[in-house]
Structure 1
Amino acid sequence: MSGHILMVCTGNVCRSPIAAALLIQSMPGVATLSAGTHALVGRGADPLAMALMQERGIDLSAHVATALSDAHVRNANLILAMTRAHLTWLKTLYPEVKERVHLLCENDDTDVVDPYRRTRFTFELATSQIEHGLSHWLDAIRTLSA
């Protein structure tokens, strides 16, 4: 798939699936993918991630963790990383697309906390950070999708 927005986290079972789902809910029709730098390939979304998204009317039950691939990166119009470590990793491994790689919460220069194997509170915090970060990208994404 070309011309998509790519969300990147570590395991692809919490943050990036949440970010992709929230973007799709905000902007139906925008091609959005999520992948992990060290994905738990084949696993579904974390149960707490699924519960929080269900409360927002989003069904993550079909999500399957996917490893980040060269094709994901090459074909993305915009790549949003959950942490500065992901950002650095992506820019180092894929210098040819570094202008398309950004921190999701770059407006606040903040990493999205990793909620994996943590409490509901941590999942809620991560989701709140993702929602806040996405709010600053919506205009840019509209421009890319036009």
Structure 2
Amino acid sequence: MEETNLSQFDTQHPASVEQAILVLLQHLSGVKTQPRNTSRSKTGSSQARQSRATRSRKKRLASSASSTLLTPAQAAKRLNLSPKTLANYRSLGIGPKFVRLSGRAIRYCPRDLHDYVKCRRFDNTSAADSLIRSQGENARRTGQ
């Protein structure tokens, strides 16, 4: 899975939290929408239709992106872990990739959960033990 470059978000300086979330959802879903026109001018019915269509696209985008992102409880259930264990893995840097939508809003992409499980499939226990040991050493080195 390719690395996400979030540097583009730093240069856009969204004016509101709503716009910041919309930019993030657009990035996650790969769908581009027109930015909302905040002016309230009455320049014709075609512009009104366009703004209704834009609002409709934004609603569909938000609902589809939010339906694909899982809460920590949903992700933990899919992995057959407790939410606390998943939070511990997150803090140690050994869990699946996650998305931080705001200070406390953590979400998981189902594809990242699948990739996390896939990279932990082993043919023998010694290979699994070496991965667990290396993750533990990495966590100790970073002071977590």
Provide TM-score, normalisation by structure 2.
0.27
Give the number of the structure whose residues are more often strand, by fraction. Answer: 1
Higher relative contact order (CA 8 A, sep 6+): 1
Give the number of the structure whose residues are more often helix, by fraction. Answer: 2
Provide TM-score, normalisation by structure 1.
0.27
